[in-house]
Structure 1
Amino acid sequence: MNKHIKKVAVIGSGIMGSGIACHFANIGVEVLLLDIVPRELTDAEKAKGLTLQDTLVRNRLVNDSLVTALKSKPSPIYHQKFSERITTGNLEDDIAKVGQVDWIIEVVVERLDIKKMVFENLEKYRKPGTLITSNTSGIPIKFMSEGRSDDFQKHFCGTHFFNPARYLKLFEIIPGPKTSPEVLKFLNGYGEQFLGKTSVIAKDTPAFIGNRIGIFSIQSLFHMVNDMKLTVEEVDKLTGPVIGRPKSATFRTVDVVGLDTLVHVANGIYENCTKDERHELFKLPGFINSMIENKWLGSKTGQGFYKKIKNKDGSSQIQTLDLNTLEYRDNKRASFATLELTKTIDKVVDRFKVLVAGKDKAGEFYRKSFAALFAYVSHRIPEITDEIYKIDDAMKAGFGWEHGPFQIWDAIGVQAGLDLIEAEGLTPAPWVGEMAASGANTFYSVKEGASYCYDIEKKSAQKIPGQDAFIILDNIRKTKEVFKNSGVVIEDLGDGILNVEFQSKMNTIGGDVLAGLNKAIDIAEKDFQGLVVGNQAPNFSVGANIGMIFMMAVEQEYDELNMAIKMFQDTMMRMRYSAIPTIAAPHGMTLGGGCELSLHADMVVAAAETYIGLVEFGVGVIPGGGGSKEMALRAQDTFKKNDVELNVLQEYFLTIGMAKVSTSAYEAFDLGILQKGKDIVVVNKDRQIATAKAYAKIMAESGYTQPIKRTDIKVLGKQALGMFMVGTDAMQDSNYISAHDHKIANKLAYVMAGGDLSEPSLVSEQYLLDLEREAFLSLCTERKTLERIQHMLKTGKPLRN
């Protein structure tokens, strides 16, 4: 099916509809967003003399919804300018326009009668061949298209986005009785390649895959709270980052999503899955019913399992619901001996064996919860899907789990998981025992860099489809390793391209990482054609190892610190001036030194979700790894005839001085961190390393020539320095910045102005690097800088002193 999606219509502009509209706008698609016409005027509309026939009134609901969405945080859109790709309208005046789109997505209220009425109306205007899908989270797809034409039914299915549509990767595709296989194949590929999603084709069963397993998991915890007498804080401590789940864990997540939403799906499963072996578990416990009656639904009603209150002194405080008394109380810190044992285990997957072996309440909790989960997912095959990996994919992409249920089971051990199930008096599906008896002792395996999964029907491991566009570093690390130290692993990606992957905590950049980067360039220049700097951790790099800087500064080892900073600068310059093309592949948090590395690569292949910036002001210094120099260089490279050059330089100065961090890769272009015409953005992070490799190969084969070091950088000297100092003086006088902020800003001004030269001059990069390093070192002698670094190390938050 060769189809191009140029324009989509989204029917329904609520939170979900507006979010889906924004995400299509994110990827460059034109969007028509429609909703119903209001039946009554507001007081404000009456005061203006408007009538129900005025366009402003008729489009009020859709316009208000979109404005609310665009103002929400986190933002549903990569760049506010992208909202111009969305046109709004209503279902009476503008419905005929659906005849001009390639895909219609229905996102109206979850009632079958209303959805069927909407589809009947849409079919009057839909042109044959247009895709038409429903974003339902649970209504059977087979009922929705009843009575529609053959062409409608052929091109109709469910496409379930998870909220928020920009951030959650799961894209469930649910076929109807007559959905064309070509349509399913197209949507599966489109979701992955263009929308950046994990596409999963599910069966038309209640709640599909993600919500069926997710709601079971939450309901299981709800009942376990009563049985084990656990507090809200204890459950959230046990079900958060320690097991690779979001910080919001269980109860905070329910507050954000809305208790009413969860209850709606749970009731749907209870009513429609009467043959489910854990049917009774979907009955709501008493405390949930009480919360629903009280309208304690979470964030949307101001209170749920947590509640924010204002103290008399104006400060805020979070209180927690006591599930026994249903009264709010002060937070109680939760701690468990078993969790203490995992603090030194960096990889989440290595913690599970320790957790289920725990001798305290935490160990008991994990044994019970994992046993219930393992047994449940085993019985869902082949009911909700035929493939094991689809359940894991759905839970990772839709609920933010780092590992899916079968991956966790593998980590504990297949037989050990069966023993847990038996110990809890539960029964797994027969196929698991048959698998174990056959000698297959894992659900997943890796062969020649590809992931395989046990196929129940074929009774053997089969290659998971759709991997050809990806490079999975976990799969190639052992067999393709070229070099390794404590900071990096260098892998051969094939076709003459190397990858250097950071392995330090939070991917911080210290001595071993810098040594690894230099080694990678040495190897690549000798035996390869190009180098990618990329990893598949949650974040690219949070910056330089400030702990190392702090220790050197406290002990006044300034010569060693000077050498360390120079090594950082020299390594960045090697990235810039190597004999082979260098590609940076940032994603997630890319801060400080991680940003500086990206600034010095020949090209950046950034994931759309890249939060990048030079944040060194927060720890009392200026960018010292070439970042200050580079922003001065980029400013002068954008000088054009008749420009007010001071104003251009000031923009780059403020990017550093205000520690600006982009909320997407697209915003990084505005900050001058990414460069138009040179750097690119990929929406699907899973494709990032493969895309970076492809560009490195193209650059190498196109005749890459080692660049010549720059000696032509125009600096403005005293002219710029005076302007900056007047500005920083004014900001301090108005108490906008502290005295130490003022000192840091003036140091940065000195570097970016090129010193106090009497007139504009041309200088080399090395000249600016020397100024930058001198300024960095001088700031490291300041007590207030050391206080800032120490505070960041202790709390993870900046100190303004």
Structure 2
Amino acid sequence: MKKNIKKVAVLGSGVMGSRIACHFANIGVEVLLLDIVPKELLPQEEAKGLSLESKAVRNRIVNTSLDTALKTNPSPIYSKRFANRITTGNFEDNMKDIAHADWVIEVVVERLDIKKSVFDQVEKYRKEGTLVTSNTSGIPIHLMAEGHSEDFKKNFCGTHFFNPPRYLELFEIIPTEHTDPSVIDFLTYFGDKLLGKTVVLCKDTPAFIGNRIGVYSMLALTHLIEPLGLTVEEVDKYTGPAMGHPKSATFRTADVVGLDTLVNVANGLTENAPNDEAKGVFQLPSYISQMAEKKWLGEKTKQGFYKKVKDDKGNSNILSLNLKTLEYGEQQKVKSSTLEATKPVEDIRKRMKVYEQGTDKAAELFRAMHYPLFEYVSNRVPEITDDFYRIDDAMRAGFGWELGPFEVWDALGVRETIEKIKSEEKRLPGQSGQVAAWVHDMLEAGHEHFYKVVDGVKNYYDIQSKSYKAIPGAEDLIVLDNIREKHTIWKNSGVTITDLGDGIINCEFHTKMNTIGGDVIQGVNKAIDLAEQEYRGLVITNDGKNFSAGANIGMIFMMAVEQDYDELNMAIRMFQNTAMRLRYSSIPVVVAPFQLALGGGCEFSMHADFVQLHAETYMGLVEFGVGVIPGGGGSKEFALRASDEFKEDQITQNTLKERFLTVGQAKVSTSAVEAYELGYLQKGKFAITMNRKRLLADAKAKALELANEGYLQPAQRKDIKVLGKQGLGIVYAGSASMHAGNYISEHDKKISEKLGWVMCGGDLSAPTEVSEQYLLDIERKAFLELCAERKTLERIQHMLTKGKPLRN
């Protein structure tokens, strides 16, 4: 199907609708957002003399919803200026305008009768060929298609976003028997490439895939609370990152999502999945029913499994719920020998084995959770999907699990785990201890794993053919985990260099938080050496949770405390030289950041020939937080960029001030788009990848493109205009004013002046053109001088011990 989505109509502006509208605006699509007309005036509207016919009143619901969404933190939109891509209206006045939409998405209240009435209006005004989808999370899709034209039916299906749509990757597509296969193909492409989603094709079964398995898993756990004697704190400690789940774990997640949502899905499954052998799991424990009755629904009602209170001094404290008494009390610290044993195990698959083999309450919960889950998911094939890998995709993308249930089962060993499932004593409602027959068939055919990697491509066991097949689309991806073993060409303790093929190599960091220390500096230089000698281009990225949290400040702290300034000077010089090599080598260098790209990670990005970054990249020079200025070329680079932006007909100090404040206020972008707006990226030298899984393949393609175009090694800049005393006056006056107003500390003032000194090129008597090396030298000198300050050392130590900045 050849489709071009220029305009989307979103019907319903509640929490989901307004945020779906924002995400379409994020990718450049024009959006029409509609909702109902109010039936009564508000007192303030009456005071203004407005009537129910006034446009401001008729669009009040939709405008209020959108305004609320735009003020939400984290934001649903990449940049506030993208909000102008959204036009608001109401169902009565503006439903006719959907005639101009290429895709209509219904996101109204979860009632079939209301949805049907909305679709009747859609049928009336839509043009032929317009896609129509519902974002329902529980109503059968085929029921909504009944009674409509053939064109409507063939262009209709479910498209279920997970909340929040910008951040959660899962995008479920639920076709009916009438849906044109080309519509499914198009939505799969659009969801993957343009919306940046993990697209999961679902059957039209209750709660589809993500919520069917996710809610089963959460409710199964609630039934284990009493027999295992668990507290809220214990559950969240045991089921968090150690288990490969998000930090919010179980009960914090329920508070964020809303207990009412969990209850509604559970009740829907009880009603709509009467033949589910584990339907007893969806019967809510008494404490959840009581919480729902009391409206203790989580963050939306200010209390749930946790409750934030203030003590007599006004300090916030978070209490936890006692599930036996339903009273709140101080949180208790949780200790576990099993969790301690898992801490040094970074490989998530190996960690699962360590967790399972523990002997304390945490390990007991792990086994009691996972063995029934394995049985349950095996029995959902082919009911909810013919291909089990889609269940894993849904749990990773929708619930933030590092491994889906079949991947965990694989890590524990499929055959041996079946025996443990049979012998597990603590069984949940409906659990028989027997897994589905197809799993036994797989083992009998000599296949010991659900997945295996073939020539760098992830394959899954196909039940129908009883053989392994490549996961659709996997051949287009480059996954370092899948190629590292066979294609590593060099490594040290902090870096692995991998051959990506076609003359392009990748330099991957794997230190804690991917911080940049001596081993990473050595590895990056080695990668550049190899690329210049034997290859055509270099990519720098990794498969971690964050690109890089910046320089290894522990190393800087040790050198500074020991006053080994010669060694520190050499380390900073090496960092600067490495950043400069990224730009001034004889081969193209593409840096591909994602998530956190702070400090040195940001500086490496700023010096690359090209930055191919994920849409969710949080980039910034945050060195002020530890009492120094950017010392790896970041201060120099902002002086250079300010120079390039100076215009003869504008006041140059204003441009300098804007760039200075970005660094001085340690501004971190909330998206890749904002990284450009803050000056961390340069026009024409970056591109955004929406889907994180595609980032490395896109970066490789860009490096290859630059090489094929005939890459020429650039010459270092010697034409950087700095303002000298003319700029310093603005900087010093500004920092003095901020200090006098108690907005910054004395030490902040000193750091600001050091930064200003570098960005102005020192106290030159007049604006002067200087070289990059000149700026690097004074940047390094300023950095070293600040490292000699006691208050800087206090800030670094506080960051190392507390994990947050100190303002002293």
Deviates more, 1:739-748 or 1:230-239: 739-748
Q: CA deviation at 1:538?
A: 1.2
Separation (CA, whole Å) in 1 of partners of 2:218 and 2:534:
52
Aligned residue number for residue 244 of structure 1 = 244
Q: CA deviation at 1:336?
A: 0.7
Q: Which runs of 4+ in 1 moved over 4 A?
A: none
Q: What amino acid does structure 1 have at the position aligned with 2:29?
A: V
Separation (CA, whole Å) in 1 of partners of 2:636 and 2:563:
25
Q: CA deviation at 1:468?
A: 3.4
Q: CA deviation at 1:56?
A: 0.7
**Alignment map for 1:717-736 (pairs within 5 Å):** 717-736=724-743
Spell out, residue by residue over 1:632-668, the C-alpha distance to the aligned partner (whole angstroms, 9 max, x if none).
0110011112121111111111111100000001001
**Alignment map for 1:171-570 (pairs within 5 Å):** 171-424=171-424, 426-570=433-577
CA contact (8 A) 2:505 2:538 kept: yes
Separation (CA, whole Å) in 1 of partners of 2:268 and 2:248:
25
Q: What amino acid does structure 2 have at the position aligned with 1:97?
A: D
Spell out, residue by residue over 1:260-315, the C-alpha distance to the aligned partner (whole angstroms, 9 max, x if none).
01100011111111111111111000000100110000011110000011111111
Corresponding position: 1:799 with 2:800? no
Q: What amino acid does structure 2 have at the position aligned with 1:78?
A: Y
Separation (CA, whole Å) in 2 of partners of 1:458 and 1:789:
58
Unmatched segments (≥5 aa) in structure 1: none
Separation (CA, whole Å) in 2 of partners of 1:546 and 1:349:
30
Corresponding position: 1:691 with 2:691? no
Corresponding position: 1:627 with 2:631? no
Separation (CA, whole Å) in 1 of partners of 2:743 and 2:45:
40
Separation (CA, whole Å) in 1 of partners of 2:573 and 2:349:
37
1:659 to 662, 666, 670: 666
Separation (CA, whole Å) in 2 of partners of 1:422 and 1:31:
53
Aligned residue number for residue 12 of structure 2 = 12
Secondary structure of the residue aligned to 2:53 is: coil
Q: CA deviation at 1:477?
A: 1.0
Q: CA deviation at 1:53?
A: 0.7
TM-score normalised by length of structure 1: 0.99
TM-score normalised by length of structure 2: 0.98
Separation (CA, whole Å) in 1 of partners of 2:142 and 2:209:
16
Secondary structure of the residue aligned to 2:13 is: coil
CA contact (8 A) 2:510 2:544 kept: no
Aligned residue number for residue 586 of structure 1 = 593
Deviates more, 1:478-487 or 1:248-257: 478-487
Q: CA deviation at 1:731?
A: 1.1
Separation (CA, whole Å) in 1 of partners of 2:660 and 2:451:
50
Separation (CA, whole Å) in 2 of partners of 1:668 and 1:435:
49
**Alignment map for 1:120-131 (pairs within 5 Å):** 120-131=120-131
CA contact (8 A) 1:477 1:491 kept: yes
Q: What amino acid does structure 1 have at the position aligned with 2:144?
A: M
Q: What amino acid does structure 2 have at the position aligned with 1:490?
A: I
Q: CA deviation at 1:539?
A: 0.6
CA contact (8 A) 1:508 1:542 kept: yes
2:750 to 737, 743, 747: 743
Q: What amino acid does structure 2 have at the position aligned with 1:454?
A: Y
Q: What amino acid does structure 2 have at the position aligned with 1:45?
A: E
Q: State the identity as a percent.
A: 62
Separation (CA, whole Å) in 2 of partners of 1:122 and 1:438:
51
Spell out, residue by residue over 1:703-735, the C-alpha distance to the aligned partner (whole angstroms, 9 max, x if none).
111001111111111111122111111111111
Q: What amino acid does structure 2 have at the position aligned with 1:643?
A: Q
CA contact (8 A) 1:245 1:401 kept: yes
Aligned residue number for residue 164 of structure 1 = 164
Separation (CA, whole Å) in 1 of partners of 2:162 and 2:271:
22
Secondary structure of the residue aligned to 2:33 is: strand
Q: CA deviation at 1:437?
A: 2.4
Separation (CA, whole Å) in 2 of partners of 1:643 and 1:85:
30
Aligned residue number for residue 40 of structure 1 = 40
Q: What amino acid does structure 2 have at the position aligned with 1:125?
A: Y
CA contact (8 A) 2:135 2:160 kept: yes
CA contact (8 A) 1:392 1:405 kept: yes
Spell out, residue by residue over 1:380-421, the C-alpha distance to the aligned partner (whole angstroms, 9 max, x if none).
100000111100000000011111001111111112321221
Spell out, residue by residue over 1:552-581, the C-alpha distance to the aligned partner (whole angstroms, 9 max, x if none).
111111111111111000000110100011
Separation (CA, whole Å) in 1 of partners of 2:641 and 2:416:
58
Unmatched segments (≥5 aa) in structure 2: 426-432
Aligned residue number for residue 637 of structure 1 = 644
**Alignment map for 1:35-184 (pairs within 5 Å):** 35-184=35-184
CA contact (8 A) 1:374 1:417 kept: no
Q: CA deviation at 1:493?
A: 1.3
Secondary structure of the residue aligned to 1:736 is: coil
Q: CA deviation at 1:439?
A: 1.9
Spell out, residue by residue over 1:369-390, the C-alpha distance to the aligned partner (whole angstroms, 9 max, x if none).
1101111111110000011110
Secondary structure of the residue aligned to 2:105 is: strand
Spell out, residue by residue over 1:112-159, the C-alpha distance to the aligned partner (whole angstroms, 9 max, x if none).
111111111110111111100000001111111111111111111000
CA contact (8 A) 1:509 1:544 kept: yes
Q: CA deviation at 1:348?
A: 2.3
Secondary structure of the residue aligned to 1:468 is: helix
Corresponding position: 1:771 with 2:778? yes
Separation (CA, whole Å) in 1 of partners of 2:330 and 2:490:
51
Q: What amino acid does structure 1 have at the position aligned with 2:157?
A: C
Secondary structure of the residue aligned to 2:56 is: helix
Q: What amino acid does structure 1 have at the position aligned with 2:339?
A: L
Secondary structure of the residue aligned to 2:39 is: coil
Spell out, residue by residue over 1:412-462, the C-alpha distance to the aligned partner (whole angstroms, 9 max, x if none).
111232122112252111111221222211111001110000111111111
Deviates more, 1:272-281 or 1:629-638: 272-281
Separation (CA, whole Å) in 2 of partners of 1:16 and 1:349:
34
Q: What amino acid does structure 2 have at the position aligned with 1:118?
A: V
Spell out, residue by residue over 1:43-101, the C-alpha distance to the aligned partner (whole angstroms, 9 max, x if none).
11111111111111111100100000000011000001111000000001110111111
Q: CA deviation at 1:473?
A: 1.3
Separation (CA, whole Å) in 2 of partners of 1:5 and 1:493:
34
Q: What amino acid does structure 1 have at the position aligned with 2:668?
A: V
Secondary structure of the residue aligned to 1:452 is: strand
Q: CA deviation at 1:467?
A: 1.9
Spell out, residue by residue over 1:615-640, the C-alpha distance to the aligned partner (whole angstroms, 9 max, x if none).
00001111010001100011001111
Deviates more, 1:345-354 or 1:133-142: 345-354
Q: How many residue pairs are counted as aligned between the two chains?
A: 801
Q: What amino acid does structure 1 have at the position aligned with 2:45?
A: E
Corresponding position: 1:575 with 2:582? yes
What is the CA RMSD across the aligned residues, in angstroms? 0.9
Q: What amino acid does structure 2 have at the position aligned with 1:765?
A: E
Separation (CA, whole Å) in 2 of partners of 1:559 and 1:641:
42
Deviates more, 1:60-69 or 1:423-432: 423-432
Separation (CA, whole Å) in 2 of partners of 1:349 and 1:23:
33
Separation (CA, whole Å) in 1 of partners of 2:229 and 2:238:
14
Separation (CA, whole Å) in 1 of partners of 2:274 and 2:755:
67
Q: What amino acid does structure 2 have at the position aligned with 1:390?
A: R
Separation (CA, whole Å) in 2 of partners of 1:36 and 1:227:
48
Secondary structure of the residue aligned to 1:762 is: strand
Secondary structure of the residue aligned to 2:474 is: coil
